């Protein structure tokens, strides 16, 4: 059953899947970021993954591709979890938005944009969410210094 | 409105369309009727909310960034401060995630104690939510009843962990200490208080005309929307989806207990209230079963590469001394890899995603906060309703700033 799910994705998207593995029971498929929307809608429509539980990213500086977008899907019908990862290069840090498929992706993507500076194409309202307007840099990037000072923002009247 | 005021508003805010009698209203960030610091920018037509923009981030403390720079066990006290009304669940979820990463399992007594403490935390979480919600809807007496009940449970947690709100009770591979000897009797005593106060509050709230009217059919969300918004926990179950991590993918020893998952049908605030009330009783059932079944034995993993050796050992032999030193300075070292561990928090699925690079510090630690998804849908839930209903909807979402913004 385990490999069945990953096998299905691999046969359906032979060009998009870079790697599949299972570690400690967590099944993971690494796919090209260009195929993310296609794979995600296939997961939702055909395989019953109705929940986008989490969407986040990780910074693997100094590796290239530097970033990785990490999505956790959950299927309430089959009681199943799947992790989907997309490598993202730092010179082209743009990924397609999943907001058309899951409304919940809206805030998750805003947080990834805020924390990592990855942009989402087709996102309805890509603004910072935890940080304020005028914050410089993206705090969860590995090259963001732990004790960096921020410039003062203009006093509001 | 003057020019300088205009620039304060978010960039997507369309001021130009306001000539038709609609009004821009700023609710928060510090508003007496809303617990937690969140700013809601409302466009209202009369008393109806036409549009809104929820702005969060006032309590962001950089939890994830901090954890990347400390050892695994040093993260535990930070997890207390995520959801500070149910700290044990955060402790347990984090410890479980690291243990999953390391591929170890704690002794059975430890797992039972973790279940007991998690369920006590769930009760405190729900008591706070209902109490504060009732208070904001002007049922002040209920607040005291429920907070008194919560206090009894905090004392119970305090007797075990040594801290009421920030216990930091778990360690990777075990617990800081075992339960005290009189825990069973104290728990029975505390539950007596909880049951009494809960039944009093139930009599005052559940069939109270005012309370019912304030909650019924407000903050409504459909089943499909709730799933699309990644809802979990009582908010999802109020729409009729019986999804609970404890039943769906049982962790610890949850599969050994007999308990029900209360579900609603309408997806409004009243159903959320009823689900929470039901869950308090189920949690007490679980704790009582767990206390009855509680096995004897050690609470910590036997391996000294995972958990600190006892002090007598440290001062008595060189291996334990070395293990103590290595653990304190370098921390536990899970193998390279990544895991996602979900537990059922007070508000829904609390997930920990940890990436390890083989060193003593997590390379990436992500928390999936349950109320992040709920607050993301607040805008939709209050749309079309009265301004006054925002308070009840926001209260039933049970936004916890520490967990939302980390």
Write the pLDDT tens digit of every residue in B193-222: 999 999 999 998 888 888 898 888 888 889
Mean pLDDT of all residues belonging to chain A: 86
pLDDT at position B3 is: 42
Q: Which of B65, B363, B372 is nearest residue A107 as measured by Cβ atoms?
A: B372
For residue B277, give every residue at least 6 positions away whose Cβ sits within 8 Å of its Cβ, in sequence order, or none. Answer: B126, B130, B198, B202, B206, B262
Q: What is the DSSP string of B197-252?
A: HHHHHHHHHTT-HHHHHHHTTSS---HHHHHHTT--HHHHHTTT----HHHHS--T
Contact B354, B338 (CB under 8 A): yes
Mutation to test the B interface, candidates A53, A63, A77, A98, most B Cβ within 10 Å: A53
Chain A residues near residue B69 by CB distance under 8 angstroms: 146
- The single-letter DSSP state of residue B400 is -
- pLDDT confidence tier of residue B127, bands split at 50, 70 and 90: very high
Q: Name the average pLDDT for chain B.
A: 87
Percent of chain B with pLDDT over 90: 28
CB-based contact B230 A70, cutoff 8 Å: no
Which domains does chain B show, CATH number per domain? 3-55 (no CATH), 63-405 (1.10.645.10)
User: At residue B5, does pLDDT exceed 50?
Assistant: no
pLDDT digits (tens, 9 = 90+) for B378-388: 888 888 888 88
Domain extent listing, chain A: 2-121
Q: Which residue from A24, A129, A131 is facing B337, i.e. has the nearest CB?
A: A24
Q: Is the pLDDT of residue B308 over 70?
A: yes
Residue of B nearest to A54 (CA): B368
Yes or no, beta carbons of A50 and B227 under 8 Å apart: yes
Beta bridge partners of A85: A30, A70
Return the residue of B nearest to A79 by Cα.
B248
Q: State how far the Cα of B399 lies from the Cα of B304, in Å rounded to an integer.
A: 39
Can you read off the two tokens belonging to residue B233? 């926990």
Give A4-13 pLDDT, tens digit per residue. 888 888 888 8
Gap between the Cα atoms of B171 and B77, Å rounded: 10
Q: Is B229 in the A-facing interface, judged by CB distances under 8 Å?
A: yes
Question: Considering CB atoms only, which of A54, A115, A132 is closest to B353?
Answer: A54
What would the two tokens of residue A92 be? 């082209």
Residue pLDDT, tens place only, B90-126: 999 999 999 999 989 899 999 999 999 999 999 999 9
Check CB contact under 8 Å for A54 and B366.
Answer: yes
Strands A94-96 and A119-121: parallel
Q: Do B368 and A53 touch (CB under 8 A)?
A: yes
Q: What is the distance between the terminal CA atoms of chain B, rounded to a whole angstrom? A: 35
Task: Check whether B7 has a pLDDT greater than 60.
Answer: no
**pLDDT tens sequence across A66-109:** 899 999 999 888 888 899 999 998 888 889 998 988 988 999 99
B140 part of contact set with chain A, CB < 8 Å: no
Tell me which CATH code domain A2-121 carries: 3.30.460.80
Tens digits of residue pLDDT in B32-90: 777 778 888 888 887 888 888 888 888 888 889 899 889 998 889 999 888 888 899 99
Residues of B in contact with A149 (CB under 8 A): none
Q: Give CA–CA dist B132/A109, Å, rounded.
A: 31
Mean pLDDT of B319-340: 88
Backbone angles phi, psi at A43, to 5 degrees: -60, -40
């Amino acid at each position: 059953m385990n490999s069945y799910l990953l096998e299905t994705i691999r046969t359906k998207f032979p060009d998009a899947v870079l790697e599949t593995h299972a570690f400690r029971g967590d099944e993971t498929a690494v796919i090209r970021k260009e195929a993310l929307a296609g794979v995600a809608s296939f997961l939702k429509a055909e395989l019953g993954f109705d929940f986008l539980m989490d969407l986040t990213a990780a910074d693997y500086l100094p590796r290239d591709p530097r970033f990785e977008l990490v999505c956790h899907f959950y299927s309430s019908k089959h009681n199943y979890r799947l992790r989907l990862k997309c490598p993202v290069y730092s010179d082209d840090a743009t990924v397609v938005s999943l907001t058309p498929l899951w409304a919940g992706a809206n805030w998750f993507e805003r947080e990834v944009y805020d924390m990592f500076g990855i942009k989402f194409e087709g996102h309805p309202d890509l603004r910072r969410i935890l940080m304020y307007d005028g914050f410089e840099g993206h705090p969860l990037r590995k090259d963001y210094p732990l004790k960096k000072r921020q410039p003062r923002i203009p006093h509001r009247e | 409105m003057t020019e300088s005021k205009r620039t304060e508003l978010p960039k997507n805010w369309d001021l130009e369309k306001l000539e038709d009698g609609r009004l821009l209203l700023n609710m928060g960030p510090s508003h007496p009727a809303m617990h937690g610091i969140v700013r809601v920018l409302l466009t209202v037509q009369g008393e109806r909310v036409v549009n809104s923009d929820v702005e969060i981030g006032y309590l962001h403390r950089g939890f994830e960034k901090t954890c990347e720079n400390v050892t695994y066990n040093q993260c535990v006290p930070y997890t207390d401060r995520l959801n500070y009304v149910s700290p044990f669940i955060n402790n347990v979820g984090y410890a479980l995630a690291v243990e999953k990463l390391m591929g170890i399992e704690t002794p059975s007594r430890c797992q039972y104690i973790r279940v007991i403490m998690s369920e006590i935390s769930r009760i405190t979480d729900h008591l706070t939510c209902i109490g504060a919600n009732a208070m904001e809807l002007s049922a002040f007496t209920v607040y005291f009843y429920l907070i008194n009940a919560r206090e009894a449970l905090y004392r119970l947690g305090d007797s075990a962990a040594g801290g009421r709100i920030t216990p930091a009770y778990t360690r990777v591979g075990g617990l800081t200490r075992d339960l005290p000897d009189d825990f069973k009797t104290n728990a029975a005593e505390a539950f007596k208080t909880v049951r009494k106060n809960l039944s009093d509050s139930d009599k005052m709230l559940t069939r109270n005309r005012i309370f019912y009217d304030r909650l019924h059919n407000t903050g409504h969300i459909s089943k499909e929307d709730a799933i699309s918004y990644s809802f979990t926990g009582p908010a999802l179950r109020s729409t009729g989806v019986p999804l609970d991590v404890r039943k769906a993918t049982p962790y610890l020893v949850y599969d050994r207990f007999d308990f029900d998952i209360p579900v609603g049908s309408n997806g409004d605030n009243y159903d959320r209230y009823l689900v929470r009330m039901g869950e308090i009783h189920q949690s007490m059932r679980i704790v009582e079963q767990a206390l009855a079944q509680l096995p004897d034995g050690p609470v910590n993993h036997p391996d000294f590469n995972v958990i600190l050796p006892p002090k007598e050992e440290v001062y008595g032999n060189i291996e334990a001394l070395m293990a103590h030193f290595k653990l304190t300075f370098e921390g536990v070292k899970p193998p390279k890899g990544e895991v996602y561990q979900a537990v059922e928090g007070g508000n829904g699925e609390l997930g920990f995603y940890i990436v390890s690079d083989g060193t003593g510090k997590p390379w990436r630690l992500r928390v999936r906060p349950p109320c992040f998804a709920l607050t993301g849908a607040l805008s939709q839930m209050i749309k079309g309703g009265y301004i006054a209903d925002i308070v009840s909807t926001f209260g039933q979402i049970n936004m916890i700033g520490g967990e939302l913004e980390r």
